[in-house]
Amino acid sequence: MTNQEAKARITALSAELNEHNYKYYVLSEPSISDFQFDKKLEELIALEAEFPEFLSSESPSQRVGGTITKEFPTVKHQYPMLSLGNSYSKEEMQEFMARITKALEREVEYVCELKFDGVAIGIRYVDGRMTQAITRGDGVQGDDITANIRTIRSLPLQANGSGYPKEFEVRGEVYFPRDKFEQLNRDREEIGEPLYANPRNTASGTLKSQDSAVVASRGLDCFLYATMAAERIADTHYGSLMQLKEWGFKVSEHMRLCKTPEEVFAFLEKWDTERFKLGFDIDGVVIKVNSLDDQDELGFTAKSPRWAIAYKFASEQALTRLNEVTYQVGRTGAITPVANLEPVLLAGTTVKRASLHNADQIAKLDLHLGDMVQVEKGGEIIPKIVGVDLKQRKANAEPVKYIQTCPECSTELVRNEDEAKHFCPNELGCPPQVKGKMEHFISRKAMNVDGLGAETVQQFYDAGLLENVADLYELTYEQIIALERMADLSTRNILAGLEASKQVPFPRVLFGIGIRFVGETVAKKLAKHFKNIDALMIASQEKLVAVDEIGERIAESVLQFFADERNQRIIQRLKQHGLKLEVTESIELTSNKLEGKSFVVSGVFSQFSRDEIKAAVEQHGGKNVSSISKKTDYVLAGDKMGPSKLQKAEELGVPIISEEDFLVMIAG
């Protein structure tokens, strides 16, 4: 392909992909399949790698993130980001509109919009290109989070059409779509990570992530609701939003031009009840004077515009009876009290249970059995009890007494001084903890045992085949096939999966054995520092806290874990079964052996995760590229590599090497 041809193809592909992004993320009307989209994107990425001179920062290939920001610079807003006055009742809304009629001496039109519950953002465009995105901050200055905002696919990196001012800013709200949020929590549940409480805080936390690839993976979205520039783009607010829409920005379809106060009230009422049908959270509606001349005339107070107001919905509450308090035991032994309620309709769903968090919460509410309790569903997914109707309490009602022993194994509960929750210390004997530990051990980010899922582990446990993770490696064909729903193939798959998991690298094994507070990152740090489990097992408190980012709490937990003889025995058995309990030296070393060489890594590897093997390429001076071109030096192929990649490598004559070949290469 000549330079000229490549340039033309890159331009055409970019335009096509932008169009599909727009159809998918802004209009929700995709016209090609995800597969077709990915193919085109792959082609674009390959071309850009081959002809980097034609890679533009607005290219659709730039949405995947990857930029690491250590600290977000603070920048001043060109136009201050004000907030809105709030109102909580129809009377206050009436007064707001009456004030405006009085000031302007005539009735005016209003635009009613949803009040999105997310994070405010101001995004600057110069010559139609996104140049900077700043959080609200204190209204005068905020954080520059441009790299993270650029990953939001509904936001144009380059505005559509023409006629936009040379410089303009759009304002909007970044939010976490509810389905994406729920998926994220399901993924976290699978690996035993604590769940996020609500979409808004999680959106806010995500936007502050230092790694824009994390932001890209989360699926945030953004509605725009205002624009500012030196010159107006329309005479009315409604006209401005229509104009923004034409330039490719995502403006909510749920906004109305209202000509009378009655129409405004109808809008409020509609969304007070229908808000739960939306795929995202709103916490009210916003009413704005439509004419921009009128807005100018009304002006601002010190904090907010006089031409707009927010109407906040009351949190939905319901009164119902508390029947019983039960207690759940988590994987780590943490106890969560749960209120069992007389079923009641709240915010569109029937609520039967509410979280009580911990003993203090029960004491604070002074809960008695049979109490009539006020249940509220705010931004949180799980409803909470916010109060008790004391007038309805019976004279002989029993106070809720927090349990002293574990509901699952009767061990006496413990509460550490600085922790809010009680926990069951019987780590190795308490059924939900034992099962939870095993589920965690086999999960994707730990041992990733093919063919084995949580349900099967439960089944093994219930059949008395498992007591701890080392037992997994002593399961026999006969034991498994004897169980219900087990066939020859599934049995062999499970055994093969367990066998293959013996190649999982040390940091993931360490994460998998489930030491309290040792998550993925901590496990990597410990493995890197101590190199093998024996050194870690005898490490003193001082040695542990000397490791970068390991604090006393983690050190204490590691010491406690290895001090237990039962854990020591489990580790010995894992060692005998051949699990990797030391770092593979060759991968730890760095060298220049791969300097100038480019690799396409594809498929599933036995000793490393794909990210680990890619990191190894870089540690040895090589470069990772995502698509195969004739400039690629090697294709590093694992299992299950796609046939199209294989074919392409063969066509272009790029050598295909295995994991073992690679290890030999870097070991020299």
Q: Tell me the C-alpha distance between 107 and 309, whole Å.
A: 17
Q: Which of 115, 288, 435, 645 is catalytic?
A: 115
CA atoms within 13 A on the CB side of 171: 18
Q: Sign (positive/negative) of CA torsion 255, 258, 263, 264?
A: positive
Place of tokens 């009307």: 29
| Count of residues making up the chain | 668
The neighbour count for residue 618, using CB atoms within 10 Å, is: 13
Q: Of 308, 313, 127, whose CA–CA distance to 226 is shortest?
A: 308
Q: Tell me the C-alpha distance between 372 and 351, whole Å.
A: 14
Q: How far is the CB of 308 from ligand IVH (least distance, A)?
A: 6
By beta-carbon proximity to ligand IVH, the closer residue of 311 and 441 is 311
The residues, any chain, with a CB within 8 Å of residue 315's CB and separated by 6 or more, are 376, 377, 378
3-state secondary structure (DSSP) of residue 30: coil
3-state secondary structure (DSSP) of residue 131: strand
Q: How far is the CB of 244 from ligand IVH (least distance, A)?
A: 13
Q: Report how far apart, in Å, the C-alpha atoms of 580 and of each of 295, 300, 506 are.
A: 68, 66, 5
Q: Report DSSP state, residue 376.
A: E
Cβ atoms of residues 225 and 241 within 8 Å: yes
What's the first-to-final CA gap in the chain, in angstroms?
A: 36
Place of tokens 């106890």: 335
Cβ atoms of residues 211 and 68 within 8 Å: yes
By beta-carbon proximity to ligand IVH, the closer residue of 116 and 662 is 116
Q: Of 127, 117, 119, whose CA–CA distance to 57 is shortest?
A: 127
Q: Tell me the C-alpha distance between 412 and 344, whole Å.
A: 34
Q: How far is the CB of 286 from ligand IVH (least distance, A)?
A: 4
Helix, strand, coil fractions of the chain, as percent rounded to 5 = 40, 20, 40
By beta-carbon proximity to ligand IVH, the closer residue of 295 and 358 is 295
Cβ atoms of residues 319 and 372 within 8 Å: yes
- Phi then psi for residue 629, to 5 deg, are -135, 180
By beta-carbon proximity to ligand IVH, the closer residue of 299 and 551 is 299
Q: Sign (positive/negative) of CA torsion 495, 501, 503, 509?
A: negative
Query: Left (φ > 0), alpha (ψ -120 to 50) or beta: where does 353 sit?
Result: beta
By beta-carbon proximity to ligand IVH, the closer residue of 204 and 340 is 204
Q: How far is the CB of 307 from ligand IVH (least distance, A)?
A: 9
By beta-carbon proximity to ligand IVH, the closer residue of 143 and 371 is 143
Residue type, 422: H
Q: Of 325, 321, 317, whose CA–CA distance to 359 is shortest?
A: 325
By beta-carbon proximity to ligand IVH, the closer residue of 120 and 494 is 120
By beta-carbon proximity to ligand IVH, the closer residue of 20 and 237 is 237
By beta-carbon proximity to ligand IVH, the closer residue of 22 and 223 is 223
3-state secondary structure (DSSP) of residue 48: helix
Q: How far is the CB of 101 from ligand IVH (least distance, A)?
A: 21
Q: How far is the CB of 317 from ligand IVH (least distance, A)?
A: 23
Residue nearest to ligand IVH (CB): 120
| 208 counts as catalytic | no
Q: How far is the CB of 202 from ligand IVH (least distance, A)?
A: 16
Q: Encode 31-62: b = buried (16+ Cβ within 10 Å), e = exposed.
A: eeeeeebeebbbebbbbbbbbeebeeeebbbb
C-alpha radius of gyration, the chain, whole number: 29
CA atoms within 13 A on the CB side of 68: 1
Burial of 412 (0-12, 13-18, 19+ CB in 10 A): exposed
Place of tokens 């399949």: 33
Q: How far is the CB of 571 from ligand IVH (least distance, A)?
A: 52
Number of helices followed by number of strands (H, E) in the chain: 25, 20
Q: How far is the CB of 252 from ligand IVH (least distance, A)?
A: 8
Residues that bind ligand IVH (CB under 6 A): 82-84, 113, 115-116, 120, 136, 173, 225-226, 286, 305, 310
By beta-carbon proximity to ligand IVH, the closer residue of 171 and 384 is 171
Q: How far is the CB of 221 from ligand IVH (least distance, A)?
A: 13
Q: How far is the CB of 113 from ligand IVH (least distance, A)?
A: 4
By beta-carbon proximity to ligand IVH, the closer residue of 286 and 375 is 286
Q: Report DSSP state, residue 253.
A: S
Task: Report, as residue numbers or ranges, the catalytic residues.
Answer: 115
